Structure 1
Amino acid sequence: MSDRYENKPFLRFVDAWVLKAIGHLDQATEAYCTAMEPQLRQSFNTTGRWPEIVAKQMNFTPELPAQIRKIWTDGKVRFEAGNGEAADPVQFAMIFVDRTMGGAAQG
């Protein structure tokens, strides 16, 4: 998983943003993102907390977190029914980011 973020540091924040949207952001990642806020503000010449910075940089709409939660909830039920195992929120976040945001989150 560490290779995912090599030369793509912002991608870590986008994945974390999706995990936060579905209520599965772990405390360690949340703490890391919060600690990196000064660097994010400087890099993007902006203000705000890390989730706001990510949303602004990615042009996310205010409705997107609710839409992502619905996709997660509906997909989780289907996945677990079809596979007999628990859905992985981290895997969901990565797949969601890769499929829906493509290269936009790579930088």
Structure 2
Amino acid sequence: MTDRYTDKPFLRFVDAWVLKAIGHLDTPTADYCKAMEPQLRQSFSATGSWTQIVEQQMKFTPELPAQIRQIWEDGKARFEAGNGQPADPVQFAMIFVDRNLQRA
């Protein structure tokens, strides 16, 4: 299996942004994204936090986090009812990004 981020390093931040939107961003990933802010600012000639840079680059609307959270909650409930096991937020984030945010 190839690394998801090898040719698309910004994709790691988009995935992390979705995880943050649904309340499942883990501490190591959050710390990595925070540590990379200076490089992101330089790469994109941007200001702000890593989340703000992702939002600017992807042209996300202010409503998007709440919409993604609603999709996660609805899908999570259906998945768990149908499969009897917990939904994986990382898998959700990757699938959501791949299907809906492919500019990354």
Map 1:82-101; keep pairs closer than 5 Å: 82-101=82-101
Task: Name the CA distance, whole Å, in 2 between partners of 1:94 and 1:31.
Answer: 19
Alignment match, 2:32: 32
1:13 corresponds to: 13
> Could you tell me how far 1:2 is from its partner in structure 2?
6.3
Quickly say closer, same or farther: Cα 1:81–1:24, change in 2 above 3 A.
Answer: same
Counterparts in 2 of 1:88 and 1:12: CA distance versus 1, 3 Å:
same
How far 1:31 sits from its partner (Å)? 0.2
Find the aligned partners of 2:2 and 2:92 in 1 and give their Cα distance: 17
The structure in which a higher percent of residues are helix is: 1
The two structures have a TM-score, normalised by structure 2, of 0.98
Identity of paired residues, percent? 76
* Aligned-partner SS, 1:79: helix
Q: Runs of at least 4 residues of structure 1 off by over 4 A?
A: none
Residue-pair matches, total? 104
CA displacement, residues 39-87 of structure 1 (integer Å, 9 cap, x when unaligned):
0000000100000000000000000000000000000000000001000
Letter in 2 for 1:62: P
Higher relative contact order (CA 8 A, sep 6+): 1
Please list every run of 5 or more consecutive structure 1 residues that lacks an aligned counterpart in the other structure.
none
Match in the other structure for 1:66: 66
CA shift in 2, pair 1:2/1:35, >3 Å: farther
